[in-house]
Amino acid sequence: MSHQGLIIFDTTLRDGEQSPGASMTKDEKVRIAKMLEKLRVDVIEAGFAIASKGDFESVKAVAEAVKDSTVCSLARAVYADIDRAAEALKGANTSRIHTFIATSPIHMKYKLQMEPADVLAQAIKAVKRARNYTDDVEFSLEDGSRSEFDFMCRITEAAITAGATTINVPDTVGYGEPQEYGAMFKRLMEAVPNSDKAIFSTHCHNDLGLAVANSLSAVMNGVRQVECTINGLGERAGNAALEEIVMAVQTRKDIFPVQTRIVSEHIVSTSRLVSGITGFPVQPNKAIVGANAFAHESGIHQDGILKHRETYEIMRAENVGWNTNKIVLGKHSGRAAVKARFEDLGVTFEDQDQLNAVFIRFKALADKKHEIFDEDLQRLVSEAASKVEDIYALVSLDAYTKTHQKPEAQITFTVKGEQKTATATGSGPVDAAYKAIEQIVASATDLLLYSVNAITKGTESQGEVTVRLERKGQIVNGVGSDTDIVIASVKAYLNALNLLEHSAVRSHPQHGV
């Protein structure tokens, strides 16, 4: 079987960031983009340039930092969006403008309040405008899987004629079924006379748990670009998971007529980086990147694995990067060794001061923890790289808990540099600490999520706590880590409060595809 190239289009930085609370800073986006480049992702969708000043700056920074992948910005099918995207992408080696408009009857009638003929005309004008800036233009039919077929054919043909080089028909609401969705692409490509002039793309959401299945069905029916995210990150139930798409194609070469250029050994480290930055932990039984993905508990399975690996393993753990997830450093490791290991993980430092800041944190952690793992290093960088000015910063915590007695916590932290102390009781030491904080800050927030995960194995592992707070419709994820889980919990809560104080609400006029 001859294998064609499958373009991997990663939208972690754009669609993935639309998960509630998953917003990333500009520097964090650049770190992830550099890792995606190391992974050899073909196209990196860096953001929605017109959505906010922060989005524009992030797209611009990624465009200037990435050299080997195409950098893309999303834009509605209006001139202002397209012009803004082009401005943000000026520094890119290779760039793409991704413009879209809704094409389903329900979206055109109720959201756009436009007639189909007007939608068609606007799409053509948008594609032509984008072609003024770049030869690489993608056009998406938002809610394509619920669009009328005849109109889908008309707008696809017109967009290609206007200069679109990629046509994306997304399953925007996760409504598709694999056989139906794949057949739609085959039928569309056969019906559109100039379909050979463009690459067709799939972008699937996971509302029914079918995003990967739908994407792969599309590939089997002629699609040659898959839009996906690391860990399946994305709004609602998420997007198709990049790691699952890539490894399905790689593992089943006998079935799929395509191959990717992804360096799969970097999948696990990329997954851990995205998880650490966004505060969205990876479930243990998640395919490919979950902690249990290559674990075998059953005695029958263990016996088979020992005799012949392929009895119960269809992939090698090393092929997706689990072999790099090993003990690397300890308290006696020097600055050069720490720097070298960071470089292996795709982390570089702008200057000596930045390295020094991370090294100080490394030494402090090594005093508490005998063995330092790669995940610990990624967490250290995330903490040191945070440019959010700490309005609230922990000074000390005294937490007390004893059987049959009410847990109590006394916390001292700074508020804009001024020390405050409060004491409270609660159902546990974490609850008590949070109530003590609220005595002082009175944040008027709702705690939507409190999640604890071990960063690495062992009882001396750092605990990583994610706290999701909501205030007046604004949602943030605070993350904190420490070998003491109560301290980690307090750090996460204060981090979330800091983010709430600093983050501006991003005004997406439309969510996109």
Kindly report, residue by residue over 420-474, the tens digit of the pLDDT.
Answer: 999 999 999 999 999 999 999 999 999 999 988 876 666 567 788 989 999 988 8
Average pLDDT over residues 169-194: 96
Phi, psi of 50 (to 5 degrees): -85, -10
* DSSP character at residue 109: I
User: Residues 103-133, buried b or exposed e (16+ Cβ, 10 A)?
Assistant: bbeebbeeebebebeebbebbbebbbbbbeb
Indicate the Cα dihedral angle 19, 23, 26, 31, nearest 10°.
Answer: -60
Task: Please name the residue ranges forming H helices in 386-460.
Answer: 429-441
Exposure on the CB side of residue 453, measured as CA atoms within 13 A:
21
Which pLDDT band, with edges at 50, 70 and 90, does 385 fall under? low
DSSP label of 369: -
The H-assigned helical ranges of 136-238 are 149-162, 178-191, 211-220
Q: How deeply is 306 buried, as exposed, middle or buried, from its count of CB atoms within 10 A (0-12, 13-18, 19+)?
A: exposed
Question: Are 481 and 461 spatial neighbours (Cβ–Cβ below 8 Å)?
Answer: no
The DSSP output letter for 506 is P
Spell out where 103-164 has E strands.
137-142
The residue among 30, 108, 72, 79 whose CA lies nearest residue 381 is: 30
Report, in angstroms and rounded to the nearest whole number, the Rg of the chain calculated over CA atoms: 24
Q: In angstroms, rounded to a whole number, what is the distance separating the alpha carbons of residues 110 and 102? A: 11
DSSP 293-362: TT---SHHHHHHHHH-GGGT-SS-GGGGTGGGSSEEE-TT--HHHHHHHHHHTT---SSHHHHHHHHHHH
Q: Which of 6-10, 116-120, 267-271, 473-477 is predicted with the least confidence, judged by mean pLDDT?
A: 473-477
Question: Is the pLDDT reported for residue 509 higher than 60?
Answer: no
pLDDT of residue 323: 65
How far is residue 29's CA from residue 35's CA, in Å, rounded to a whole number?
10
Given 3-state DSSP classes, what are the helix, strand and coil percentages for the chain, each rounded to the nearest 5?
45, 20, 35
Band the pLDDT of 341: cuts 50, 70, 90. Answer: confident
Confidence tier at 180 by pLDDT (50, 70, 90)? very high
- DSSP letter at 462? P
348 neighbors 329 (Cβ within 8 angstroms): no
